[in-house]
Structures are given as structure tokens and as C-alpha cells.
Structure 1
Amino acid sequence: MPPVERVRDGLWSIPVPIPDNPLRYVLVYALESGDGVVLIDAGWPADVSWQALRGGLAEMGTTVENVKAVLVTHNHADHLGLAGRVREASGAYVALHALDAAPLGEGLGTRERWRSDHLSHLVRNGMPDADATTTVDAMNADLLFEAPSPDVLLQDGERIKLPDLDLRVVWTPGHSPGHSCFYEPGRRLMFSGDHVLPRITPAIGVYSRTVGDPLADFLVSLERLERYDVEEVLPAHEYRFRRLDQRLAQMARHHTERLAETFAAVRAAPGATGWELAAHLEWSRPWSAFGVQQRRFALGETLAHLKLLAARQEITEHGAGPTRWYPAASR
């Protein structure tokens, strides 16, 4: 774990642990605002995370009771999870992009429907029935059904009105439908959430309730950040970095190469399912070393690349049980 760090006057970085997760921690940013504090993201909903957040605020000379607002980059548990607990302790409002607020609470439907949707999605894309059941049973539905709902819905381009702060909402969909960065023009800082990380690329996947084309959205979102004058990027994981332009180009190039690799895999095995293709793509570790949830995410990322290739009319899909993929010319 990195230390709690004073990044600039009135701006602190607080690492909050994510238990039993290879990412290890999320970086929560605390900004002084008037006589209080504004948080960007909140951390994982666990007691050890809560204590780390409280300890970090104590190091900067304040307490969680002085938090006035929690600005959440997206609705994943390591970012949104503790926001409700912060709100209960301080009365702070929680702000989240409208598109990421939609699938919370009543938008999820019943737990039975949620489980059925996930099972059918995995099986439809080639995962064996037994593996699909094991995978869904291992998913923590409570993280979704008990996630706090926001008090304020953010929109792209919105200027957030807070004492002594000037923050702009930059909508960057892809990792989630409503993922948003926060730009501070005065100090040329970009709080990038999971959209741009210094070393790894965020997971862009197609899952049971995915709408649209998330990888296409993500690539457009990378281009949108090119217009901002940024001295330093403050991501939610890993570490701060400069030269945003270089990193954007690297990430776009990564997906161009991954699309080519995925297309080559379809050409080599026409009629393969998404599950079969995912097992033969190159990952950071062998497929045999992946756990059930890592394989689910790998399938989701593979489907995102397949979906974009299909939108470009380079491949086609056929069948519903399971769906199989073919080069466009052979269909």
C-alpha cells in the first residue's frame, strides 16, 4: 500500500484497500472545500476499507464527519461502495452520472431475474452449464443490490458548484455506461477514475445487461480526452502520471492490436463461441491459471471486441444457443 500523500495544497491521495483483490487498493482523492472536504470516489464497502479512509482523513487533519460531497467516477463497488456509509456519518451528498445510477436499486429487478439473466448470457456465449452455475454463484450480488443510490445525478460538461473548487464532469463511457472523469482546469488536473490508468487497461466488457457497444464508446472517450490541457492525471488505481497524450495513444493502439488478434482467432476457428475464442487469446497469464471470475471478465472483454468487429462488418454472429462467430466473407 502506498502512503497517504499530500498531492497539492488542499488535495490528498488516500489509498483504500480492496480486500482479496489483485488491484489491492483504490485511490480516493480528498479535496479541501470551504470548511469541509470533497471526496472523489469512496472505496470498497468493508470495515478495513472504512478504517483506512478514516485514517487517511485524520492524516490530513479532518474527519469523515466533515465530508460535504462524494463525487463517484462510476458505480463499481470499489468506487461507490463506501459512499453510503460516508453519507450516513456526515450528511454528504453522493453524486454519480445518471447512466450509472440507472442499474442500481429497483433498476436491477429481482435477484432471481438477475441470476437468470447472468446464467443465460454465459451459456449463450458458450460457457458450459456447470461452469456458468459456479460462476454466477460466486458473484456477490449484494454489492449491486445494496449499493447506495446517488442524491445528485451528474451530466457531461456540468460544472460542479463547490466552495473553492472548480471541477467539470467529463463523461467517458466504456468501463461503465456513465463513467465520468473530473477535470480541474485551474491546476490542469484530470481525475480519471478507471478510464485511464498508467500501466494497465481497464476492463471493457459485454455482460448480461450491457446495452450498446462499450468498446466503441471507450475508444471515442479516449479521443475526447485529447482536447483537455492536462499536466497530471490522477487515476483510481496504480499511481499518478503525466503525458496523458502518450498514454491515450498507447491504449488506443492496444485495442487496435487486440481487435486484430480477435479477428485472426475467428478466421482460424470459424464457428467458435466467445468462450472458445477467449480461451485461445493471449492474456497476462495462462487461461488455466484463471479463476471463475477472471474467466467471466475475459469472456466479457472478448465479446466486446467481437461486438465491435461485427459492427464494422468484419465478422458475423449466428445462432442463439450458443452464439457462434464467423468471418464475414464465409457467411
Structure 2
Amino acid sequence: MQITGTRQREAWLNKLQPPVENVGEGLWSIPVVFPGNPMRYTLSYLVISGPDCLVIDPGFDSPQGRLDLEAGLRAAGVGIPDVSGIVATHFHTDHLGMASWLRKRSGAWLALGQAEQRHISVFDDPAVESETDRNRMRSWGVPEGRLDEAAMSVDQLMHLKQLADPDLRLGDGDAVPICGRPLTVIETPGHTPGHICLRDPGREVFISGDHVLPRISPNVSLEIRGDADPLRSCIKSLGRLEADTHFEVLPAHEYRFRGLRDRVLALQSMNLERSQEVVRELEAQRNPTVWSVASRLTWSRGFDSLGNLQLRLALSETAAHLQYLRTSGVNHTVEGLPTAELAV
């Protein structure tokens, strides 16, 4: 893998926010702060082509994030009123969060992948939904004293409820409606059910969202009313991306790089190795739960250091591996997971 975003990588290593950069003809990288999260920022991308001005993954909505995005637009010689379109690679708040504010200020259209349904925010009563999620965490073996961290609170659920709905849906092979060079959609479910990447053959760049990152394996979670076997979807999606190995990869976090095929193979290998680690824990435990397995796995910061959202993500990722193993024929009983028949 060849790192092309050298200034981005230097900023990452020094725990700083990287600069706004012109990374191609009419293409800009704009870091937008992601407060209170270890990822620190989202790399938003600006595409200027003729009269059109497209923002990809505008980032988390915060006062500083709005300033970051506006500063990036100014550096490219445009402003909020010039934005004609917004594409979010998926519905997470660090990608879609600022879309509502930006659409209201600019009048731009907003697009999401056609399969990116708002499954996690489909509820009538947030209090009932939160309690249902707490019971789900209990079935995963989460100790009572950790439920407040692992389960979705009413405030978290209402925050997700307020995320913007799209004006357009983009499916596999669709062209993003922008003047000039085409941006082609590739559906890449896994990180979320409707995650999309964008392929720009003219500039030879691949905008990967969270599907392919240069340093870490993106979180793949078994979530509320989501994909019943998300890790299987993720591995299949990765297998579709090996052809454009010479393209520069523009991820939503960390830094730009080349070597897409090698990175795809590495991510597939990492996921399969992780599943083997889960198998070893299943074989070592008498009555495994999602919690008991997750607590024994290798985590970069150590399981005991995980709290709140990071704890939930670790548990949901473990559950995704357990479900993948179950639908692959590894016969272990773990409470709180969908049946293999439902997941196939």
C-alpha cells in the first residue's frame, strides 16, 4: 500500500486535524471535526464540475463542523449557496449528520444508497425502543451496570430520528447526477446495509466512505432491524473492488492511499482471522454470550477501556462474527442472535 495523503497521515499520527487539500482537478478533501470520537474527523469531499458543486459526506453536525465545512468550501473558491448536491455514503451521523443543515442553507438535493433504509430509527416511542434495546443487550449477557453504556438511550435514538431523509436514491451502477465526468455508484453493504462507494474513472479515484480504510478494519455490526448477516455482506462487497487497484482511494477517515486490491485482501483476511479468534472462544467457553466472547477478544485499546458507543460497537461487531459463523454452519448456541434460518 502506498500512502498518498502524506500530510493527512502526519496529522493523524500527531493527533491533529489535517489541512484542506486539492487532490485532483475540481476535487477537494475537507476534514470536518467529529467531536468526542476516536476517529476525530470525517474527510468530506467536494467535487466541482461545471455549474455543479457536490459535497460527499458533509460530516457530523456541530458548530465547529459547520465552520470546518465552510472554510473548506472557501478554499475551493465556492460557498454554501453554490452547493447543488449532497451524497452520503451511509446514514451514520459523522457522514449524514450535517446534511440537513447544508440542504436547508443551499437548496441542494440529498442522495443516499437505495438500500440505506432508516432501520435503526424506525420506531414510534423512543422510550419503548430504548427498553427493547436494553433487553436485547441483557440477552447478549451485558451486566446490568453496563446497560446504560451499551444500549441506545432515548436521546441517542431521537438524534438518529432527526437525520435527513434523501431526495434521491442511488443504486448499483447509477451515475451521480453531476455535470461532466461521471461518478458511478458501487453498492457495498456491510458497514451499513446500504453503504455505497463512488468510482471516478476520469480522475482514477475511488471514494470509499467507511468501507475501505487504510489502517483499521471498519466496524461491521449486527444492529436493530439491520442486515441479518452483515459480515457476510461486507466480505462479499470487498470482493467486488479488486479491479481498480491503481486508483487512489479517498476514504472518509485517516488518509488517502493507493493499492486498493491489496487493502481489500488484507481486510478480508483480517475479518476471517477475527472469526477464527471468535471460534476459539466459543470452543473454550461452556455457555458463551456476546459479552463473554467480546470480553476475551483482542481489542486495540483493550476491552476494559471500552465504554459507551465504543463498547456497543465492540459488542455488535462480535455479534456480527457470531452470526456469520452460525450461518456458516458453526453450531454454537449464543443468546440474543437471529436464527440461522432467518439470516440466510
Fold shared by both chains (TM-score > 0.5): yes
* Structure 1: gaps spanning 5 or more residues: 324-331
Deviation string for 1:238-295 (max 9, x for gaps)?
A: 0000010110111011011111110001001131111011001111022221113222
Q: Distance in 2 between matches of 1:47 and 1:301?
A: 31
Q: Distance in 2 between matches of 1:28 and 1:253?
A: 28
Identity between Structure 1 and Structure 2 (%)? 37
Deviation string for 1:23-57 (max 9, x for gaps)?
A: 01000000102223101111101111011000110
Shift of 1:8: 0.7
Secondary structure of residue in 1 paired with 2:206: strand
* Counterpart for residue 249 of structure 1: 265
Q: Distance in 1 between matches of 2:257 and 2:317?
A: 26
Pick one of 255, 259, 262 that aligns with 1:239.
255
- TM-score, normalising length from structure 1? 0.92
Pick one of 107, 115, 132 that aligns with 1:91.
107
Is 1:170–1:180's contact at 8 Å kept on the other side of the alignment?
Answer: yes
Is 2:25–2:203's contact at 8 Å kept on the other side of the alignment?
Answer: no
* Counterpart for residue 39 of structure 2: 23
1:130-209 equivalences under 5 Å are 130-136=145-151, 137=153, 140-209=156-225
* Counterpart for residue 212 of structure 1: 228
Identify if the C-alpha distance between structure 1 residues 301 and 135 changes in structure 2 by more than 3 Å, giving closer, same or farther.
Answer: closer
* Structure 2: gaps spanning 5 or more residues: 1-16, 338-344
* Counterpart for residue 10 of structure 1: 26
User: What letter corresponds to residue 131 of structure 2 in structure 1?
Assistant: S
* Counterpart for residue 284 of structure 1: 300
Identify if the C-alpha distance between structure 1 residues 138 and 290 changes in structure 2 by more than 3 Å, giving closer, same or farther.
Answer: farther
Secondary structure of residue in 1 paired with 2:119: coil
The answer to whether structure 1 residue 305 and structure 2 residue 327 are counterparts is no
* Count of aligned positions: 322
Which of the two has greater strand per residue?
1
Is 1:232–1:240's contact at 8 Å kept on the other side of the alignment?
Answer: yes
Pick one of 128, 138, 142 that aligns with 1:113.
128
Is 1:121–1:207's contact at 8 Å kept on the other side of the alignment?
Answer: no
Q: Distance in 1 between matches of 2:47 and 2:273?
A: 38
Shift of 1:318: 5.3
Is 1:13–1:28's contact at 8 Å kept on the other side of the alignment?
Answer: yes
User: What letter corresponds to residue 137 of structure 2 in structure 1?
Assistant: L
User: What letter corresponds to residue 184 of structure 1 in structure 2?
Assistant: D
Shift of 1:117: 2.7
- Structure number with greater CO (CA < 8 Å, separation at least 6) is 2
